[in-house]
Amino acid sequence: MRNIIVCGDGYCGVDYEGKICCAVCVDKTECEKRCELVNDNPSLQLCKHQQSVKMDELDSFKPKGREGLRHNTVCHECKEPLSEEEEDNYTYGDDCYCETCFYEIFDTCGYCGEITYQEGMKWVSSRDYSVCESCYDQHYSYCTECDELFYTDETRVTAHGDTVCEMCWERLYTTCENCNEGWRTTDIKITDIEVAILCPSCWSDMIATCEVCRKTGYSENMREHGDYSSLCNECYEDESGTEEDEEDSQGGN
């Protein structure tokens, strides 16, 4: 009994225990291997996958031998026949795919270059490619402002622990001159006297308001005088000078 047959579409198949099997059925589990013959025509028979077998073409077929049969002579996804080029070039693991299915299911990670399932990949708009889940977890972060994915080295972390891309940082954030943390520019305060750029936290710890001119400056530079507990140098000198003038005036009288 011949153990290799040719189906009408050019597939390689085998006669498995007296039952005709197409390439789709070969190498499957035991229960799937036994194809049912559904056509009594001696010149044309069908397996359960509806792959036609032309018995009169057997003599012209040059057998590869059972061991040489490739398990995936059809696309693993759509079950359509594969060209030799597709069998050689569009594979994932032990499975072969047609070109169309391959590019619908898989993609190449833009970071590591490995082929992986598109499902679960993340699109990096700043680089115009997708990355696999592993590379995403290790090397990429979402900007909390624009919700785009960026290479982690191209992002910054704010004082509140948010990740922000460089573009959003320049547009929305300012660095505190004291703690060097990034804060929203709308939260930053600037002193009147020393022109210091400070976050709210550092501001409350370090800045005081002159009780006379109401200008702000570093607490350590403020001075006490008379009934005032916080005077800038300019107001301190004015207040001190006024008292000296009053004393001189009283002494002259």
Q: If you write DSSP's letter for every residue of 9-71 in order, what string do you get?
A: TS-EEEEETTEEE-TTTTTS-HHHH-PPP----TTEEE-TT--EEEGGGGGG-----GGG--S
User: What was the pLDDT predicted at 55?
Assistant: 44
Degrees to nearest 5, angle at CA 102 with 98 and 106: 170
d(CA 112, CA 114): 6
Around 30, how many Cα atoms within 13 Å sit in the side-chain half-sphere?
A: 0
Going from the first residue of the chain to its last (253 residues), give the mean pLDDT of each consecutive group of 10, the final group possibly shorter.
38 46 46 37 44 43 35 78 84 89 93 91 88 92 93 93 95 94 93 88 91 90 88 87 55 52
User: What was the pLDDT predicted at 159?
Assistant: 94
Contacts of 239 (CB under 8 A, 6+ apart): 212, 225, 226, 228, 231
User: What was the pLDDT predicted at 9?
Assistant: 40
Phi-psi region of 195 (alpha: psi -120 to 50; beta: other; left: phi over 0): left
239 contacts 212 by C-beta, under 8 angstroms: yes
Phi-psi region of 79 (alpha: psi -120 to 50; beta: other; left: phi over 0): left
* Residue 108 C-alpha from the chain's centroid: 13
Neighbours of 200 (CB within 10 A): 13
Degrees to nearest 5, angle at CA 216 with 210 and 222: 50
Contacts of 86 (CB under 8 A, 6+ apart): 75, 96, 97, 98, 99, 102
User: What was the pLDDT predicted at 176?
Assistant: 94
User: What was the pLDDT predicted at 242?
Assistant: 60
